Chain A
């Protein structure tokens, strides 16, 4: 610890003298005596660096090392070595929000690249500098939809959105004073008929639907935008940005807002975070978008330069009139996905999708062959994730003992599986063998 505190006894004496005080305690003479904590703090004694390392390595060794075959909002894609190497650079990781743009062009440039990449994936016009995670990005979209449509007060969520997305949006909505309606599923997909019935009530500000849903199904949103726009609402697509390399984009569905979690773009699982939420919008809604935005301009000598821009939207200007309290972003994680997308390029990202999808379909077929599973949504298109009905009870626990995290039970009583490019054919065969052995 002393390693982080450069003060010598002589320094402390000299500094106290300059400020006209005798002891360090005098620095708190304005604090009422009763609030000065006199007792011993209930903390362990300081660990040396070696002791700290051994303690945490010991805890880390207790984590189960399972092969992950579950997604449900957190996907075990491969992280190229270049990413942690570059994101650990001191100049990136120890910087603050780029307030002093003249000495923050590194941060500002990569966020500008990140915005460009999110626009490339979603097909939409404008991206912000990132948000906390996918579920909170969806909550921001919910509040933004109400702000954009003013007199409308209700936001519809598809019941096929990932469970944690639904719960976070509901929490925000409860306190923000927005009524939430749940759109039921029909055959594992958001129901257009149910959507039309709800839209007829004339109070819908926005509708949030998943591009790839909680069952892994790639949803067909034909007719959604038309129906929603006819009632002056906004269509929000919740997306897995990795899958956007191959599935129809929010722009192609004529969505107004795209949100999601960019974790599948090479961010480690890390027990749920840090991840990074993204949001992109059509340019008509740009000035209602929450979060920081980076823009291009020129410096006094005409050189290309980047700055925080459109700040009139933000909390520190709007204060009590704000409709989002987002202050920072998840900058370093935005850098993470920027480097990931740069390395993968269009072919690599498509190949990741192919490998994952081919592996998942192989597993799907092998599981059915065991006779221990039943199809839930036969014929529905999926990529890397799917659900089945299992005839084996306690399957997840059994597989954990065999070294797999798989067959996660869902709210509906199905079991959920996911395969990424990190799972080899041998891994899948081993999983299926473990299931057969029971």
Chain B
């Protein structure tokens, strides 16, 4: 990766063109009335096609993707994105389909996907409208509220969220007009059932859970939790961000969940695209099917192009390989955990699922007399060795959280190389912590000044500093 310091605007030269349009064969249409016309200048860059190609190629070379190297970002399921799926999503017929057109073939894809996802999850019916995981959460909570309101049960305004939940869970609940009640975790990382019981009254709409939870631990008391919540009249929402380890092994529908979302860009291998487009279809149990009616959460049919990729993925996995996805993702996570737990703090012992959390290095730099380094330092040093960093400082249960999710598409050789580097970094932290504090040393840039960025926001080219 090499540093490249241009913005497209800086390549602009008046009169240069990067487009080619057909000749105008029509009589000129009437001009817009003056008061409806744009009066201000249109400061778009004027560049040639070769300028554009070279510029964005140069930008791409300052980026790290799954195709560049190992990307153990916890809770993000950075698995390999199969290339055939890209080609299938670009098929000319689907690409040219207007969303308001009659499209039997596209409807067939959606109907087939509905059946496939229902088979994998044990849910009854999916909506494909949500464009992302958080969007799916919001949609799922709308369904939860619709269910209660539809029964005339108007007082259910609270949703229970574990303290280990993804940040989007409480935010989605708040946007959906629900009050968030937090339930704490036990020492063993699981939901505290005794703390949950008193919260379950007639004001509870439901609980949002991810299982395995964000510590990568299976909620072993899920049956009891489902029973308690259902007895109290609430519903169970499953955050499908952590579905990967359950592929082919456990179906959320069988555990008592009434509503769930899936992240097609995690579990079903569609590329993350630098932060989207994703797709967050929401599945419901049979007794909630009617709540999908009239719920319009996005413009048309969701991110159809992403759904096509996930469809291709499921067809290529097939019945006989589904279980391998879950099993190998879990095997890889446990393999890394067991290979590093003598140097990194493992707060909770035992078999994890697709991911696990260390609470920083044993030498975490918190004690002046012992050389060490923080989780941030470890993460930045990993970049020097050609690995993406894990998710850091999440979940919030631990101060120095390092959340590692390898996925099933990484080889043992890659995992061994990562383990070796993590051990090397632990050694560096003890011998030369300064090396880590100043990392990365060979990325395109060194650590930027984030405080200055927030204090003096420069948010567009040639920005005058807003007050």
Known: A53-B88, A344-B18, A421-B21. Is A298-B448 also a contact (CB below 8 A)?
yes
Tell whether, in the assembled complex, residue A300 and residue B446 are in contact, meaning their CB atoms are under 8 Å apart: yes
Contact segment of B191-199, B215-223, B363-371: B215-223
Known: A32-B220, A301-B446. Is A5-B304 also a contact (CB below 8 A)?
no
Contact segment of B98-106, B227-235, B424-432: B98-106
Name the CB-closest residue of B to A81. B49
* A47 at interface by CB-CB < 8 Å: yes
User: Total A-B residue pairs with C-beta atoms closer than 8 Å?
Assistant: 671
* B238 at interface by CB-CB < 8 Å: no
Name the CB-closest residue of A to B18. A343
Tell whether, in the assembled complex, residue A63 and residue B319 are in contact, meaning their CB atoms are under 8 Å apart: no
Tell whether, in the assembled complex, residue B446 and residue A15 are in contact, meaning their CB atoms are under 8 Å apart: no
Complex-state Cα separation, A76 to B275, whole angstroms: 25
Tell whether, in the assembled complex, residue A4 and residue B303 are in contact, meaning their CB atoms are under 8 Å apart: no
* B177 at interface by CB-CB < 8 Å: yes
Residues of B close to A222: CB separation below 8 A? 35
Tell whether, in the assembled complex, residue B65 and residue A93 are in contact, meaning their CB atoms are under 8 Å apart: yes
Residues of A close to B88: CB separation below 8 A? 52-53, 56
Tell whether, in the assembled complex, residue A273 and residue B97 are in contact, meaning their CB atoms are under 8 Å apart: no
| Size of A's binding interface in residues, CB under 8 A | 207
Within 36-89 of A, Cβ neighbours of B (below 8 Å) are at: 36-37, 40-47, 49, 52-53, 55-57, 59-66, 68, 70, 72-74, 76, 78, 80, 82, 84-86, 88-89
* A235 at interface by CB-CB < 8 Å: no
* A101 at interface by CB-CB < 8 Å: yes
Pairs A–B under 8 Å by Cβ, sample size 28: A5-B324, A11-B412, A31-B250, A52-B312, A64-B103, A66-B101, A86-B56, A93-B86, A100-B379, A125-B459, A164-B299, A168-B297, A252-B40, A270-B95, A272-B299, A272-B304, A273-B99, A296-B453, A296-B459, A296-B463, A299-B447, A316-B168, A330-B275, A342-B18, A345-B46, A348-B19, A361-B26, A381-B36
Least Cβ distance of B388 to chain A in Å?
A: 6
Contact with B along A322-358 (1 / 0, CB 8 A): 1111111111110100110111111111111011011
Tell whether, in the assembled complex, residue A43 and residue B300 are in contact, meaning their CB atoms are under 8 Å apart: no
Tell whether, in the assembled complex, residue B44 and residue A346 are in contact, meaning their CB atoms are under 8 Å apart: yes
Q: How large is the interface on B (under 10, 10 to 19, 20 to 34, 35 or more residues)?
A: 35 or more
Known: A167-B296, A351-B21. Is A357-B29 also a contact (CB below 8 A)?
yes
Tell whether, in the assembled complex, residue A319 and residue B99 are in contact, meaning their CB atoms are under 8 Å apart: no
* B138 at interface by CB-CB < 8 Å: yes
* A94 at interface by CB-CB < 8 Å: yes
Tell whether, in the assembled complex, residue A248 and residue B383 are in contact, meaning their CB atoms are under 8 Å apart: no
* B187 at interface by CB-CB < 8 Å: no
Name the CB-closest residue of A to B119. A42
Complex-state Cα separation, A368 to B334, whole angstroms: 71
Complex-state Cα separation, A300 to B97, whole angstroms: 49
Residues of B close to A349: CB separation below 8 A? 42, 44
Tell whether, in the assembled complex, residue A245 and residue B60 are in contact, meaning their CB atoms are under 8 Å apart: no
Complex-state Cα separation, A130 to B452, whole angstroms: 23
Tell whether, in the assembled complex, residue B49 and residue A343 are in contact, meaning their CB atoms are under 8 Å apart: yes
Known: A74-B300, A362-B27. Is A102-B380 also a contact (CB below 8 A)?
yes
Tell whether, in the assembled complex, residue B105 and residue A62 are in contact, meaning their CB atoms are under 8 Å apart: yes
Residues of B close to A82: CB separation below 8 A? 18, 49, 52-53
Q: Which of A4, A80, A101, A297 has the most CB of B within 10 A?
A: A4
Least Cβ distance of B141 to chain A in Å?
A: 8
Residues of A close to B298: CB separation below 8 A? 132-133, 135-136, 168, 273
Tell whether, in the assembled complex, residue A273 and residue B300 are in contact, meaning their CB atoms are under 8 Å apart: yes
Contact with B along A373-398 (1 / 0, CB 8 A): 00000000101000000000000000
Tell whether, in the assembled complex, residue B447 and residue A95 are in contact, meaning their CB atoms are under 8 Å apart: no
Within 411-467 of B, Cβ neighbours of A (below 8 Å) are at: 411-412, 438, 440, 443-450, 452-454, 457-461, 463, 466-467
Tell whether, in the assembled complex, residue B96 and residue A247 are in contact, meaning their CB atoms are under 8 Å apart: no
